[in-house]
């Protein structure tokens, strides 16, 4: 925890606080100044990013308490993927249900994929709008992203950060039939 004097010194040198927030749903396509409404949306999306959004929200609230006069800005991992075309965005489920429940591929690690695309563009000495690359975000969380002319057009993560590659604490893609098979076997085991 910061001391009162250290806090005052830091407040004089810091002009704002930025927060990487994992899930912004359909709502946020750009960084946004955080207010109560933004916090509520982050909280509402906790069920779709349970390892991240609660911690992101706690960090925002702590920063506001420690530095009450500084503006806080949220940058959403899902924002970069708002450009994914419909052919890659939607799952093979009823469109009315998908639209009503907002089920689609949101994509994640967008801040990382955007950064990698910009760095690749600089390295290749080519305008970002002229390159097509596949970016790999590898670590405890992992995803790949097809970036065409500076825009995300496909990504391995979907509705939640669980879909896609195998990760540290997430299964990644798994055949849906396995889930039903496991549920059935567990049910049979409980009844015997």
Distance CA 91, CA 158 (A): 9
Asked if 85 and 170 sit in the same domain, the reply is: yes
pLDDT at 12: 73
**Could you state, in chain order, the average pLDDT of each consecutive group of 10 residues for the chain (192 residues)?**
56 88 92 97 93 96 95 96 95 94 94 97 96 96 96 95 90 88 74 52
Which residues are catalytic, by number? Answer: 77
pLDDT at 142: 96
The angle at the Cα of 190, spanning 186 to 191, to the nearest 5 degrees, equals 120
- From its phi and psi, is residue 4 left (phi > 0), alpha (psi between -120 and 50) or beta? alpha
Q: Judging by DSSP bridges, how do beta strands 72-76 and 17-21 pair with one another?
A: parallel
Q: Judging by DSSP bridges, how do beta strands 32-33 and 72-76 pair with one another?
A: antiparallel
Residues spanned by the domain of 8:
1-76
Number of domains in the chain: 2
Asked if 40 and 88 sit in the same domain, the reply is: no
pLDDT at 170: 87
In the block, tokens 């695309």 appear at 117
Q: Decide: 166 and 172 in contact? Cβ < 8 Å.
A: yes
Listed residues 76, 103, 121: the one ending a domain: 76
Asked if 183 and 90 sit in the same domain, the reply is: yes
């Amino acid at each position: 925890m910061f001391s009162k004097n250290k806090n005052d010194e830091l407040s004089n040198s810091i002009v704002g606080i930025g927060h990487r927030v994992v899930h912004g749903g359909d709502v946020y396509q750009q960084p946004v100044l955080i207010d109560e409404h933004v916090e509520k949306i982050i909280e509402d999306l906790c069920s779709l990013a349970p390892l991240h959004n609660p911690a992101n929200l706690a960090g925002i609230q702590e920063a506001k308490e420690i530095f009450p006069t500084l503006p806080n800005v949220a940058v959403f991992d899902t924002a970069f993927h708002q450009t994914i075309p419909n052919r890659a965005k939607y799952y093979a489920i009823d469109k009315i249900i998908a639209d009503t429940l907002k089920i689609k591929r949101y994509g994640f690690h967008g801040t990382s994929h955007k950064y990698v695309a910009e760095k690749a563009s600089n390295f290749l000495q080519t305008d970002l709008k002229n390159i097509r690359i596949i970016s790999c975000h590898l670590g405890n969380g992992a995803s790949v992203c097809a970036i065409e002319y500076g825009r995300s057009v496909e990504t391995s993560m979907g509705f939640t950060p669980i879909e896609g590659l195998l990760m540290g604490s997430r299964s990644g893609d798994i055949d849906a039939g396995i889930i039903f098979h496991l549920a059935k076997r567990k049910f049979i085991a409980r009844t015997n």
